[in-house]
Amino acid sequence: QVPLVESGGGSVQAGDSVRLSCAGIGSTFRSGSMAWFRQSPTKDKEFVAGLRYSGHTYYADSVKGRFSITRDNVKNTLELQMDSLKGEDSSVYYCAMCPRCILSSLRRAQSYDSWGRGTQVTVSS
């Protein structure tokens, strides 16, 4: 397991943008997947966006075209750029890593063995 730390959350208005960052990946992300999940108080953890070591990206339908997942190789962080935010995007956002994950497990939270503690994003309408 790798200790991950999210940052960048906050309270914004609908239509605004927020950029989340996940530190701690260092040089350990050499295979498998990294991803962002989110969880609201009444829901299970939900896949938001994933990045394979190959560089391929994957998104939940609800965020496609609005969110972008990238890796900053200088800062060694995983980033999530969130644009055109909506009220339903309000949640706690978590980054996760799974070096041994295959593609078919990318969207399953149970597949990931390293997690951050989360950062709250609140979007007001």
How much is the pLDDT for 31? 85
| Whole-number pLDDT of residue 100 | 87
N- to C-terminal Cα distance for the chain? 38
Q: What is the pLDDT along the chain (125 residues), one digit of tens a residue?
A: 788 999 999 999 999 999 999 998 877 788 899 999 999 988 999 999 999 999 999 999 999 999 999 999 888 899 999 999 999 999 999 999 998 889 999 999 999 999 999 999 999 98
Calpha distance 12→113 (Å, rounded): 31
Q: How far apart are CA 14 and CA 50, in angstroms?
A: 24
